[in-house]
Amino acid sequence: MLQTLKYWSIELRKRHKLLKNMDPESEGPPIVKVTPLQQMAASCTGAVLTSLMVTPLDVVKIRLQAQNNPFPEGKCFVYNNGLMDHMCVCEEAGNKAWYKKPGNFHGTLDAFLKITRNEGIKSLWSGLPPTLVMAVPATVIYFTCYDQLTAVLRSKLGENETRIPIIAGIMARFGAVTVISPLELIRTKMQSKKFSYKELHQFVSKKVSQDGWISLWKGWAPTVLRDVPFSAIYWYNYEILRKWLCEKSGIYEPTFMINFTSGALAGSFAAVVTLPFDVVKTQKQTQLWTYESHKISMPLDMSTWVIMKNIIAKNGFSGLFAGLIPRLIKIAPACAIMISTYEFGKAFFQRQNVQRQQF
């Protein structure tokens, strides 16, 4: 008798699960997967939209910096399009580059208004096209890998395993940084001087023959030290916050605003924690290009930890958190826009897949 009841109990659970998956009107969403191609399309849309909305903030910041302290030839500065940092090397003094245009700005809002009025609204997106060439592929690889790894880990470890966002975030970011790192070196070299494709091929061949293939990943270590912890912290807090906000709102699926808020808060927290590595990475990249531009051999003591010790010795512990407010102003909206757009795109494709399955 007990065995019969147990058998029918198992059968009823199986049928209930099957009906729940097939019936879109049942409690909870239909279990219909979004394909990797659809995830790539959603992340690509999010990356472009994030760049379009965040780039003006950095353009204005760089123009204000150039006004107060003009960039000398051969020096470099960091440009951020909301998705990733890029090193830009200043060209000759007579060059009319976007970051050298004259201006008389009295603050951020004044700069926005004057640039728009005097130079046209397109000037707020100066320098964006070259960075999109790398930022979009890197973001597509990162977000798609994260979702695919999350799905695999959930099938192995269970749906409620809290370590999954951390593991998936680390692996996805590690892979994206490793794939993009050689392209970053080549892109920065192209920005420092106009190269033909033939000259670029010669540069890469010479670098590989002299220093080996590993030389194409120069600058990889400080990037990993910043981006991998950021990714682990970000995804863990994002998933926790999103689940908590859904419970507080009494809803099953997160809304656009819940994703937006969770992304902004998680990104802000991760940005604060990993800021010391961001400061070190920026300084290391700047020093690398200073030595290369002046044909000086790079010192052997330029490791991440040595640079960190030097910063503390010179500016104190607070020196590791220099630029906190500007970083938060960029990171919080960038994370919020990217993740909410990405989740919205996935939800859209999921609805399309459900409709196709029904017909």
Average pLDDT over residues 206-214: 73
* 85 belongs to a structural domain: no
User: What confidence score (pLDDT) does residue 5 get?
Assistant: 43
pLDDT tens, position by position, 21-35: 444 444 444 466 889
Identity of the residue numbered 358: Q
> What share of the chain in percent tops pLDDT 70?
69
Model confidence at 105: pLDDT above 50: yes
**CATH assignment of the domain containing 282:** 1.50.40
Out of 29-43, 254-268, 304-318, give the one with best mean pLDDT: 254-268
* pTM of structure: 0.75
Q: What is the rounded distance in angstroms from the CA atom of residue 27 to the CA atom of residue 22?
A: 11
pLDDT score of 197 more than 70: no
Q: Dump pLDDT digits (tens) for 43-99.
A: 999 999 998 888 888 788 778 877 766 666 666 666 666 676 666 666 655 556 677
Q: What is the mean pLDDT of residues 254-264?
A: 95
- Please check whether residue 292 is in contact with residue 260, taking contact to mean a CB–CB distance below 8 angstroms: no
Q: What length is written for the chain?
A: 359
Question: Is 38 within a domain?
Answer: yes
51, 82 Cβ separation under 8 angstroms: yes
| Domain annotation covers residue 66 | no
Helices (H), 252-323: 256-293, 304-315
Q: Which domain holds residue 170?
A: 33-45+129-351
Are 28 and 20 within 8 A, CB to CB? Answer: yes
pLDDT winner (highest mean) among 7-21, 89-103, 115-129: 115-129
Instruction: Express each pLDDT in 145-173 by its tens digit.
Output: 999 999 999 999 988 888 999 999 999 99
In a domain, 330, yes or no: yes
Domain count of the fold of the chain? 1
Question: Which secondary-structure segment (H or E) carries 86?
Answer: strand 85-89
Q: Residue 4: inside a domain, yes or no? A: no
124 DSSP 8-state letter: G
For 98, other C-beta atoms within 10 Å of its C-beta total 17
Domain presence at residue 25: no
| 78 falls within a domain | no
Position 205 confidence tier, pLDDT thresholds 50, 70, 90: confident
In a domain, 304, yes or no: yes
